[in-house]
Structure 1
Amino acid sequence: MWAKSLSIRKIFVWSKVRALLAYGLGPALGLLSGPILARALGPEGRGQFSSVMEPLTLGGAIATIGLPSAVTYFIAAGKDPRKVLIRALALGLPSAVATYALLAWYSEHVSETQNIPRGLLLTAWAFVVASALIQILRAYWQGLGTWRRLDLERFSFAILRFSAVVIVAAIGFTTVQPYVAGALVAFLLAGALLMSPNLFTRRERDVPDVKGIYRYSFAAAVGTIAVVCSNRIDQALLPIVADSEQLGFYAIAVTVAEVPVICAALAGRNALTLASRGSTLKFILKDIAPFIASGLLLLVVLYAGAPFYIPALFGTNFSPSILAVQILTVGTAFSLITFVSIAIVSGRGNPAKSSLIPLYSVLITLICFGVIGSDTNSTYAALISTASQIGGATVGAALVWSGRNRPPNGVSASPIVGKDNDLSLQVR
């Protein structure tokens, strides 16, 4: 009996370690591939690469309109997985096609500003349909608790994406097209691991209400899209108002300054669980303090060391990224507050209210880009991003503090803090 208990405990521990490795491998290999990509393409090519990939990530969040969260919720709640999947696909795929039409309109502006063939943009952004399918499939397996398959997909995508950059760079390509193709092929190959004959197996479970699925997905969409927009919309707007070189400088700055976001995600994960259980604000902050401290320490190192590691890793032609890195690290410090605030407010049973935090950040970003317009460069973009993070953190802290003495409304199924449905196609 003791040996059996030890074996079960060992498996349980390994599953957690495996998940953490799968979660962290992508950002780690992405950071390693960043210098390779920067040196191969230079500032202009790196900016063009970002112009292709970032709108695709944003489009993927819009295309699914909260459906992944609904799929996970209803399957985990005991509804028939096959019926849930079919009904999610029935809405998700047409929504993805409509999103592609929006991206096709947007492609004309990006093509002119960034000197990218429109055909490349139209071809790459057609993958928004595949993105919607893969995100829904991830949610399907997440609802069933099939973590091994999800971890395998994460591992595979990270390794394939990194390998694609290394191979294309080793061949000697200096144009953006092969690198875009490599990232997209890696995404499809890894996503294929989510396919299974068991997807449409009939099960003796309750049939979900169609209106219930769609109502839940539309409610979740507000927060999900708002979070992705607050993190990515600056890189989607910048291709319209700045040249590729400035976008390249900014892409490198974002790559470096967002590394501590891993600590913010871990803090948010714990805060969401504890808030859902009714823990006090003091207890939550004490529990997540190690993650916050680690993130702040890393930010100090990134800020102080930027003048040294940016030229060493990415090349001296990326030296203009140094100031943007330092500005963005300040913004990332406030994003730690934002992540935790979203988690706590959501965990208290107010997912709709928690969406106000990223929505406020998005509003600040849109206003600032509208005011500065075509004069925007990498430094201004970093200032805008930092201002939006400060705004979101201020609103988040106010909401957390105002509700500190209120009991939670129930366990939240909010998707806002999670990243399982994020496309994350950018090769760092």
Structure 2
Amino acid sequence: MTRTEGGSIPQADDTQPTAKPRGGSARSMTITLVGNFFPAAIALATGPILAQSLGVEGRGQVAAATAPLGLAIALMTFGVPEAVSYAVARHPRLVRTAARNGFLLIILAGLLATAAVLSARGWLSGGELEIQHLMVVASLAVMPTLLLGVLRGIASGLQQWSMVAWEKVLASGLRLLVLLPLWLTGHLTPFTAVVVLAAMPVMGAIAYLWLPRRLPPPEADTEKVASTKAITGYGMRLWIGTISGVLLSRVDQTLITPLSSAYQLGLYVVAVNVSEIPLIIHRSVRDVTFVTDAHRSEDAKLAASARISTLICTVVALGLGLTMGWWLPILFGEEFAPAVPIAALLLVAVVLSTPGSIAGAGLSARGRPGLRSIALVIACVVNVGLLVVLVSEYGALGAAWATVLGYLLSSALNQFFLKRLFGVSMLSFYGLRRSDLGILRRYAAGIGRVLRLRRRR
């Protein structure tokens, strides 16, 4: 048995009980893909509803109120959900110990996160009282959302991908079901929109009601690999990168209002909605890759995941980029037409970040989350500096350029660290191999067989 970076959580060897993939990586990927697709589809449906009902200014107010919520949830986890997932993936029989310690730590984090949002609302709102009031409402969802993250970490570590997918389907589906009647009856205001956007994700916890029945037999934590100290140690090393990663992807939405205006944020949010469509597939690949590589590390599989994910993201991004000048103003309203070039830049950022994101998942899965964190910290510092310089001058377009450069730097550093420590060639993450096409063909054939069997039933 070897020790991970920092010596907190031992690496499992072949004698350790590890989580068994349920139905193989292809099945896991498909379930995760469905789980990620549904929220994105709902976001694409609710985006025009919010945009056309609230207008650019109102949509900007809602985004300004909820952006600190998302930022606080991601920043103040201290890496606990990911650490729980990692510990459970390595040692499934210690899931009860990991869960108990994870929940204890996340409650403390939730109290700090709520206080942070309330304390910073004056500055983050740009001095607008209405936005400050909306931030108070959104802050009430911080604690339950953080607790939900630990449940998701447990389910992911046990490779219960169906539960994780159902959580996302329930949360996003309920959001649409509540927003629709509010919109049709004329009651969709910035206040009601904030309540729905903040509260509905928590409802996804219903998906984990049956999780206790799926837990493996317990085992004494004789090596303290799921202790509070071990979870905190791994989580804190990962958390540094999480902070930077979240700042890299979300701080732009938090800073645009104080640096520019709510109008610019309204345009930017719509552009983000469009650019996140290619991420549906990439996040599915990344999430499954993290757990499967933690279970058994294989360089060839890691590189193939990066290449295939990049290929599909590129195809989807090109399709969106070449057509959105036509459909985006129709879908969201003519006043959002200036969001088209912003969305185009963000699509470029998504494609550039894909190989490095998979490399970062590989670093974390192999017990070196600190290196992924270093890459994200460096990229974050560059990104924030660019935001301060570019947003005040160019608004949302400047924020998009800052995102492109930050993502590119983070991606390159993750791949560099993976090569230095584990000898994985950076070039292996790019291009297209015949074996990749074979993987895609086998995957498509497997999905086809499943669909034919279901039809016969």
TM-score range, shorter chain: 0.7 to 0.9
Structure 2 counterpart of 1:138, from 152, 163, 167: 152
Which stretch has the larger CA shift, 319-328 or 187-196?
187-196
1:354 CA displacement: 1.9
Counterpart CA distance in 1 for 2:414 and 2:347 is 19
Give the alignment of 1:24-423 within 5 angstroms: 24-76=37-89, 77-113=91-127, 116-194=130-208, 198=212, 204-207=218-221, 208-269=226-287, 272=290, 273=292, 277=296, 279-280=298-299, 284-286=302-304, 288-372=306-390, 374-403=392-421, 405=423
Counterpart CA distance in 1 for 2:97 and 2:150 is 13
Percent of pairs with identical residues: 23
Which stretch has the larger CA shift, 331-340 or 154-163?
331-340
1:359 CA displacement: 2.0
The aligned residue for residue 424 of structure 1 is: none
Change (3 A) 1:196 1:119: farther
The answer to whether the Cα contact below 8 Å between 1:59 and 1:103 also exists between their aligned partners in 2 is yes
The answer to whether the Cα contact below 8 Å between 1:238 and 1:376 also exists between their aligned partners in 2 is no
User: What is the TM-score of this pair, normalised by structure 1?
Assistant: 0.82
Secondary structure at the aligned position of 1:116 is classed as helix
How many equivalent residue pairs? 397
The answer to whether the Cα contact below 8 Å between 2:31 and 2:161 also exists between their aligned partners in 1 is no
The answer to whether the Cα contact below 8 Å between 1:56 and 1:128 also exists between their aligned partners in 2 is yes
Which stretch has the larger CA shift, 78-87 or 240-249?
78-87
1:39 CA displacement: 0.8
Counterpart CA distance in 1 for 2:85 and 2:365 is 17
Change (3 A) 1:219 1:148: same
Counterpart CA distance in 2 for 1:249 and 1:261 is 20
Q: Deviations over 1:159-212 (max 9, x none)?
A: 10122222221122352111111223322332244357959x997421443322
RMSD over aligned Cα, in angstroms?
Answer: 3.1
Q: Relative contact order (C-alpha < 8 Å, sep 6+): which is higher?
A: 1
Secondary structure at the aligned position of 2:107 is classed as helix
The answer to whether the Cα contact below 8 Å between 2:306 and 2:354 also exists between their aligned partners in 1 is no
User: What is the TM-score of this pair, normalised by structure 2?
Assistant: 0.77
Q: Residue 37 of structure 2 aligns to which amino acid in structure 1? A: G
Q: List gaps (5 residues or longer) in structure 2.
A: 1-21, 426-457
The answer to whether the Cα contact below 8 Å between 2:167 and 2:204 also exists between their aligned partners in 1 is yes
1:336 CA displacement: 1.7
Counterpart CA distance in 2 for 1:52 and 1:162 is 19
The answer to whether the Cα contact below 8 Å between 2:29 and 2:288 also exists between their aligned partners in 1 is no
1:393 CA displacement: 2.5
Q: Deviations over 1:389-420 (max 9, x none)?
A: 1222332343344456369xxxxxxxxxxxxx
Q: Residue 105 of structure 2 aligns to which amino acid in structure 1? A: L
